[in-house]
Amino acid sequence: MHEGPVVVGWLLVALCGSTGLYCLYRAAAGPGRGARRPAGVEGAMGLGMAVMAVPGAGAAAPGQAYVVFFGVLAGCSALLRARPAHRAHHVVEALAMVYMGLAMLGPAGHGAGGVPVLTGVLLAYFALYALRTGALVVPVLPAPVAAGAGPVAGGGAEPAERSPEVAAGCRLALSLGMLVMLVSM
């Protein structure tokens, strides 16, 4: 799918693949079903994006495979028991990948670049989403501890896989990957 420099393609593979694997880890280690399913969808999305971003992937796997995979993922996203905005984002993300898969079906498998207006709308959506989500990644810092006071008893830190900042970081990484893929279409 990626038409830009090869190094950018491999960096995109690394970003999306590592994010996808971490999201799958969060799904396995998450506190309950309500948090596991969205993390699992994010993991599948990240790994699918990584495969699609491999330089030369358009020649190795037909666009139809991506269309089917991300179409199924869009259906699964629509059935998530998550906040409506979160669920809608997953659906938009999966449908954007379907759109890119369809663009790969252009002449000789090199993609026609898609519909410029739709590509622009998706670029604007993911840019705004990345900006909004980026603000969630920065945690609110706790009040400074007095010198020699030490940590508060029983106030242990929350495990990383349950941290809302980590979940927002995963969505931010995938949104940035989506931006790069859309720009390089």
Quick: pLDDT tens for 115-161. 899 999 999 999 999 999 988 887 665 656 555 555 544 445 555 55
Candidate from 72-76, 123-127, 145-149, 172-176 with smallest mean pLDDT:
145-149
What pLDDT is recorded for position 154? 46
What pLDDT is recorded for position 149? 53
What pLDDT is recorded for position 19? 95
Q: What are the tens digits of pLDDT across the range 13-30?
A: 999 999 999 999 988 887
Mean pLDDT value across residues 77-104? 89
What pLDDT is recorded for position 16? 96
More confident residue, 62 or 147: 62
The secondary structure of the chain in percent helix, strand, coil, rounded to multiples of 5, reads 70, 0, 30
Q: How many percent of the chain have pLDDT more than 90?
A: 43
Beta strands in the chain (DSSP E): none
What pLDDT is recorded for position 69? 93
What pLDDT is recorded for position 44? 94
Question: What letter represents residue 1's amino acid?
Answer: M
What pLDDT is recorded for position 143? 57
* Residue owning tokens 């920065």: 138
Identify which of 177, 178, 170, 159 has the alpha carbon closest to the alpha carbon of residue 133. 170
Look up the pTM and report it: 0.82
pLDDT of 72 > 80? The answer is yes
What pLDDT is recorded for position 184? 86
What pLDDT is recorded for position 106? 72
> How many alpha carbons fall within 13 Å on the CB side of residue 12?
28
pLDDT of 65 > 80? The answer is yes
